[in-house]
Each structure stands twice: as C-alpha cells, then as structure tokens.
C-alpha cells in the first residue's frame, strides 16, 4: 500500500513537471506594443504620400474593415480632476498579415478622443516597427497584436476613434468607441 502511494505521488509530480514544461513552451498569447516605450520598438514615420493616405482615411469617418480591430477603454483617477484613460487596441490575427513579411513588421496607429461637440481633447500618432524572431513570424497568423496607449482626460462623455494600418500590405482598420468618465469627486447634496 505504501509503495503504491509513493508511486502515485511520483507519477503526479512527474505529470505536474511535464505540464509546467509544456506550458512554458507554448507561444506568446499576443504581440504587445506599448506606446511610450521605445526600448523594443523603432518608431519611424512613413513617406509623405503614406502619411497623407493615413490622414485622409482617419478624417473620412468611414469604417475601414481590412484589419479587424477591437478597442478596450478603461479609466482610473489620477488626482482630484484628471483621469488616466488606458486604451488597448487589438488587431485580430490574420494570415494576410504574413504577406511580404520578414523579421520586421511595420504598423501605424492613429487615435483621437473627441467630445459630443466633436472637439478633439487628445490624440496620438505612432509608427512602430515590431521586430520578430523566426518562430514569431509564423505565429503572427494565429496571435493578435495589441497596442496600448493612454490619454489624460477630465470627466465627460467622449468617443475614441482608432485607425491601424499595416505598412507592408496597406490594409487598414478603424474602430469607434464611446465612453463616459464619471466625476467621482462630485458630492451629492445631503437631503
């Protein structure tokens, strides 16, 4: 009986070690790009004609669906008046992103936050070069790309418009998300 219990413990321990090794060998769950960091990504502007195309596509207001985008917006209070608003843009994996790819993948991101009167409160423009290892190039077809940025805003109702463009293929995608930042400091009168 003791021998069977020891064998069972050793078997479970070996199984746990094998599972943890298999979990470490799995590919990354997303290629993450954070806007302010320049340590891993080389930011560079494109040609003037490409910049004009990007600006025209962003200002047109049309929904572009060549790239499938989803946008997540959160907020947290920085001080008594301002809120930091992290925005996460997720580009769904696509086999089309592999066309013409080598070890570098160039992406453009444009975002603007406007209020109900269509006044722009904050915006960003970023051109990033994602450096990929040989194993990562094939994983791009099944792994999403996530771009993170943040804005500082006051309480109010806003809409964020995001445009992403793959510089290699010229494919673009847009997303518009409406959100509200409540005034957490507003005091309600006592009744």
Least confident stretch, 100-114, 142-156, 163-177: 100-114
Contact 50, 167 (CB under 8 A): yes
* d(C-alpha 86, C-alpha 179), whole Å: 12
* Measured CA angle at 177 (ends 174, 182), to 5 deg: 155
Supply the DSSP string of 88-137, one letter for each residue: EEEEPP-GGGGTT--SEEEEEEEEEEEETT--EEEEEEEEEEEE--HHHH
Q: How confident is the model at residue 60, as a pLDDT?
A: 80
Once rounded to an integer, what is the mean pLDDT over residues 159-183? Answer: 90
Residue 55 has pLDDT above 90, yes or no: no
Residue 23 has pLDDT above 70, yes or no: no
Once rounded to an integer, what is the mean pLDDT over residues 36-44? Answer: 39
Q: Residue 155: name the closest of 179, 191, 175 by CA.
A: 179
- Could you tell me the pLDDT band of residue 97, with boundaries at 50, 70 and 90? low
Q: For residue 6, what are the CA distances in angstroms to 14, 17, 182?
A: 12, 17, 59
SS3 12: helix
Assigned token pair, 97: 């992103």
| Domains in the chain with CATH codes | 27-181 (2.60.40.150)
* d(C-alpha 167, C-alpha 187), whole Å: 49
Once rounded to an integer, what is the mean pLDDT over residues 76-103? Answer: 78
Assigned token pair, 42: 């080389």
pTM of the model: 0.70
Predicted confidence (pLDDT) per residue in 133-168, tens digit: 777 777 777 888 899 999 999 999 999 999 998 887
Q: How confident is the model at residue 170, as a pLDDT?
A: 82
Assigned token pair, 140: 């791009």
Residue 182 has pLDDT above 80, yes or no: yes
Residue 131 has pLDDT above 70, yes or no: yes
A 10 A CB-CB count for 29 gives 9
* d(C-alpha 167, C-alpha 162), whole Å: 16
């Amino acid at each position: 009986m003791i021998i069977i219990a020891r064998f069972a413990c050793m078997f479970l321990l070996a199984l746990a070690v094998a599972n943890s090794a298999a979990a470490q060998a799995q590919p990354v769950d997303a290629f993450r790009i954070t806007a302010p960091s320049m340590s891993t990504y080389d930011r560079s502007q494109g040609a003037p004609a490409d910049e004009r195309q990007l600006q025209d596509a962003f200002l047109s207001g049309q929904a572009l669906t060549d790239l499938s985008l989803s946008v997540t917006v959160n907020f947290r209070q920085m001080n008594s008046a301002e809120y930091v608003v992290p925005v996460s843009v997720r580009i769904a994996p696509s086999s089309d992103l592999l066309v013409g790819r080598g070890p570098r993948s160039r992406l453009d991101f444009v975002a603007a936050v406007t209020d109900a009167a269509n006044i722009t409160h904050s915006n960003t423009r970023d051109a990033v070069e994602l450096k990929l290892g040989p194993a990562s190039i094939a994983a791009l077809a099944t792994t999403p790309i996530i771009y993170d940025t943040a804005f500082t805003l006051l309480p109010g109702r806003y809409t964020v418009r995001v445009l992403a463009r793959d510089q290699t293929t010229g494919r673009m995608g847009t997303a518009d998300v409406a959100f509200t930042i409540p005034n957490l400091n507003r005091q309600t009168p006592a009744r």
